[in-house]
Amino acid sequence: MADSFTRIQPSFVSGELSPRLLGRIDLDKYASGCSDITNMVVMPQGGLQNRPGFRFIAETKTHAKKCRLVPFQFSITQAYILEFGHQYIRFYADGGQVMSGASPVEVATTYTEAELPYLRFAQSADVLFITHPAHHPAMLSRTSATSFNLAPISWTWPVFNAENATNITATLSVPASQPPGIYNIVFSGSGFSKGGVGLTQSHVGMYLYVYEYTGDPPAATNKVLLKIKTVTDATHGTVEAIPAFGQQVEIIPTDPTTYWAEGSFNAVYGYPRLVTFYEDRLVFASSTDFPQRIWLSCTGDYYNFLYGTNDSDAIARSINVDQVNQIVWLKSAKKLQYGTVGGEGHLSSGGSEAVSPTKISTLMESRYGSPAEVDPVLINDETVFLQRPGKTLRRYSYNYESDSFSGENLSILAEHLTMNTNITQIAYQQTPYGIIWCVTSDGRLLGLTYVPEHKVAAWHKHTTDGEFESVATIPGETDDEVWAVVKRTIGESTYRFVERLDPFFTDSDTEDAFFVDSGLTYDGEATTSISGLDHLIGKEVAIVGDGGVIASQTVSAQGGITLPYEASVVHVGLPYTSSMATVPPMLLSNDGRVIGKKKRIVKALLKFYMTHGAQVSGDGVTFDTVHFPLVSNQVTLFTGDKESSPAGGFDLEGKIYVRQTLPLPMTLLAIMPDVFLER
């Protein structure tokens, strides 16, 4: 004997739930959750849509080394993806690689493969600012659609440490044999600079300034900006006078002076690891020797870090924490939000005014901490960051009820997705669904559909024939574009490809449905011969021709396939399966038991939207095909209800499994199962 129940799951908006929650039928989110979502995304409206495929764009420059994708948005209509690799940058725009003739446009760098995760970026118009703790801050400038230039930042007035507080003097003199503008410098002792050892070869390139303090009343005069050219010993070297504020150096103070200071950004003290903009100031933070310091430029004068007391003068501020915690991220919102290895906080004026040298405060708000390798994403006015050691996403956002910032856990319902791996990179795709994409160390791509105003935070996972290694997003014509670096094995060799996620399918014509990975499209005269698939030689590929599914083939050694009939629009690429599974149903038998009862799905009504091709199972092993109509023998997309009697007997879970194995669209809106509960 068995009791019969009918239930409906009208939404999947809770996403994939952790196995640790499968007994929590008391949770509101349980009823709209799934036990598996693979290669499908949770739409904020509640349904599940199989993800589109990734289009092959180009091979990376060096297959043997990892690279990192970085967005560079020049304007609303002109955006680039940058391929940062081992000592180079390549460029992508308008769905393809930026070329100069037959060669990719490329800029040489000194950034190594190991340094790529630690690069940080900030953009102003056609300039991308780049920082790394081992490199001088740099500017990547776009000079035309296909021309870029990388150079160190040229300061109007550099960032300096506090002035010399010892009795050691610096004396400049004009040498007889040096070119104009080059001077000798002598320090009266070696007990200065880092470690108290005086000048070393690491000081070459460091900025200095010296000035005299004379007059009645005393005032600073003859302030001169210098750069160390050579080092002879701990107290002797040569310096070059640098024009500051566009003015040539006219008077060099030659009397010994204790009024001098060393630059902050150099090989001695390290370089800033972070960069952003805040209240029209260029902001740097966290060097090797000053891990808790934030430097803000003069207002509207990004290369001028001359300190003073005027509201627009530059500022140097160390954050207030009870232990030395390196700042590892900055995000500019209404307040300058920052994260350290031990907590999160923000910098502001302390009121409604803009920050200034006399109105500035820092405040730590939470104590979670972040790894240094992963840059957070800013979504509206909140920062979504990765908690140390790299498994949990949290949101740093203002809570009006408590009048404070908090770090809500966004991974708590799906902690299993990172239990045996770490998140290595994140990017945010605002349109169409608001998805945070996360690359993991084991090569998966996790998605978090995140719409906080509707309390949507739903996880889903994505796999491919290979490993995802990097992800980045830029604006597109319809959807924000999602770009990825994917490591794939072709034959017995390892390749790394730059690929772009196709826009989410909204058309009614399956001819435009692109649901293959590392795929390409032929669009031309009807033909049976498809070539240009050299990157997939020897791989079995899925094929869609003029909207219909063609039996899979293996790409020939010549990089081609032969169709059984002519087609004019053909999509070819690696197949993948999109699938979901419900959580065990919330049922209460006559004896009051809900757990430990065997269940069987005898019938299920599935509500589809613009779908062709689906399979249903009651046990996850044997799948029955859902039949969709053909019109004039052509594939058409179906919207409505389909009834299925899935295979499977009684078991303790009573799940429904739905999958799409065809390279065609599937959107599942709701499931209504009839369940027999064993007495």
> Do 72 and 123 meet the contact criterion of CB atoms below 8 Å apart?
yes
Distance, in Å, from the CA atom of 9 to the CA atom of 6, rounded to the nearest integer, reads 10
Residue 271 sits in the same domain as residue 398: yes
Mean pLDDT of the 286-304 span = 97
Is 324's pLDDT higher than 60? yes
Distance, in Å, from the CA atom of 566 to the CA atom of 397, rounded to the nearest integer, reads 56
Residue 374 sits in the same domain as residue 289: yes
Share of the chain above pLDDT 70, in %: 96
| Predicted local confidence at residue 1, as pLDDT | 45
Using CB atoms within 10 Å of the CB of residue 679, give its burial: 0 to 12 exposed, 13 to 18 middle, 19+ buried.
exposed
- Assign 296 a pLDDT band (cuts: 50, 70, 90): very high
Report yes or no on 357 lying in a domain: yes
Residue 611 sits in the same domain as residue 545: no
Q: Domain with 653 in it: what CATH number? A: 2.60.120
Report yes or no on 98 lying in a domain: no
- Assign 247 a pLDDT band (cuts: 50, 70, 90): low
φ, ψ of residue 258 to 5 degrees: the values are -95, 0
Distance, in Å, from the CA atom of 486 to the CA atom of 536, rounded to the nearest integer, reads 13
- Poorest-confidence range of 178-182, 389-393, 555-559? 178-182
Report yes or no on 424 lying in a domain: no
pTM: 0.94
Helix (H/G/I), strand (E/B), else coil: 590: coil
Distance, in Å, from the CA atom of 50 to the CA atom of 615, rounded to the nearest integer, reads 13
Number of structural domains (the chain) is 4
| Predicted local confidence at residue 291, as pLDDT | 96
Concatenating the DSSP letter of every residue in 470-484 gives: EEEEE--SSSPEEEE
What residues contact residue 575 under an 8 Å CB cut-off, 6+ apart?
Answer: 465, 516, 517, 540, 541, 542, 552, 661, 663
Residue 200 sits in the same domain as residue 286: no
Distance, in Å, from the CA atom of 593 to the CA atom of 419, rounded to the nearest integer, reads 31
Which residue, 574, 608, 623, sits at the end of a domain? 574
Q: How far is CA 270 from the centre of its chain?
A: 25
| Predicted local confidence at residue 250, as pLDDT | 66
Residue 539 sits in the same domain as residue 639: no
Neighbours of 529 (CB within 10 A): 10
> Do 435 and 450 meet the contact criterion of CB atoms below 8 Å apart?
yes
Mean pLDDT of the 451-465 span = 96
- 178 versus 185: the higher-pLDDT residue is 185
> Do 48 and 41 meet the contact criterion of CB atoms below 8 Å apart?
yes
| Predicted local confidence at residue 648, as pLDDT | 77
- E-strand ranges in 356-391 read 361-366, 377-379, 382-387
> Do 127 and 137 meet the contact criterion of CB atoms below 8 Å apart?
no
Sort strands 33-38 and 15-16 into parallel, antiparallel or unpaired. parallel
What does pLDDT average to over the chain? 92
In the chain, what are the helix, strand and coil shares in percent, each to the nearest 5? 5, 50, 45
| Predicted local confidence at residue 595, as pLDDT | 57
> Do 385 and 344 meet the contact criterion of CB atoms below 8 Å apart?
yes
pLDDT tens track for 508-539: 888 999 999 999 999 999 999 999 999 999 99
Mean pLDDT of the 588-617 span = 80
Report yes or no on 350 lying in a domain: yes
Residue 538 sits in the same domain as residue 605: no
Is 280's pLDDT higher than 90? yes
Q: Which two tokens stand for residue 209?
A: 């300034």
Concatenating the DSSP letter of every residue in 8-48 gives: -B---TTEEPPGGGTT-TTSGGGGGEEEEEESEEE-TTS-E
Amino acid at the residue 477: E
Residue 304 sits in the same domain as residue 200: no
Residue 623 sits in the same domain as residue 643: yes
Report yes or no on 94 lying in a domain: no
Residue 233 sits in the same domain as residue 251: yes
- The domain in which residue 325 lies consists of 265-410
Distance, in Å, from the CA atom of 644 to the CA atom of 402, rounded to the nearest integer, reads 50
Is 465's pLDDT higher than 50? yes
- 7 versus 583: the higher-pLDDT residue is 583
| Predicted local confidence at residue 676, as pLDDT | 78
Mean pLDDT of the 571-593 span = 82
What residues contact residue 136 under an 8 Å CB cut-off, 6+ apart?
Answer: 152, 153, 265, 266, 271
Distance, in Å, from the CA atom of 283 to the CA atom of 277, rounded to the nearest integer, reads 5
Give the residue among 676, 677, 669, 679 at the shortest CA–CA distance from 8. 669
Q: Which two tokens stand for residue 497?
A: 């490809």
Report yes or no on 417 lying in a domain: no
Which residue, 241, 262, 283, sits at the end of a domain? 262
Report yes or no on 36 lying in a domain: yes
Residue 405 sits in the same domain as residue 295: yes
Residue 270 sits in the same domain as residue 406: yes
Torsion angle, CA of 646/650/652/656, rounded to 10 degrees? 0
Q: Which two tokens stand for residue 405?
A: 């910032």
Distance, in Å, from the CA atom of 337 to the CA atom of 101, rounded to the nearest integer, reads 44
pLDDT tens track for 351-386: 999 999 999 999 999 999 999 999 999 999 899 999
Report yes or no on 56 lying in a domain: no
Residue 526 sits in the same domain as residue 619: no
What residues contact residue 606 under an 8 Å CB cut-off, 6+ apart?
Answer: 614, 616, 626, 641, 642, 643, 644, 658, 668, 670, 671, 672
Which residue, 393, 410, 427, sits at the end of a domain? 410
pLDDT tens track for 61-117: 999 999 999 999 987 778 999 999 999 999 999 999 999 999 999 999 999 999 999
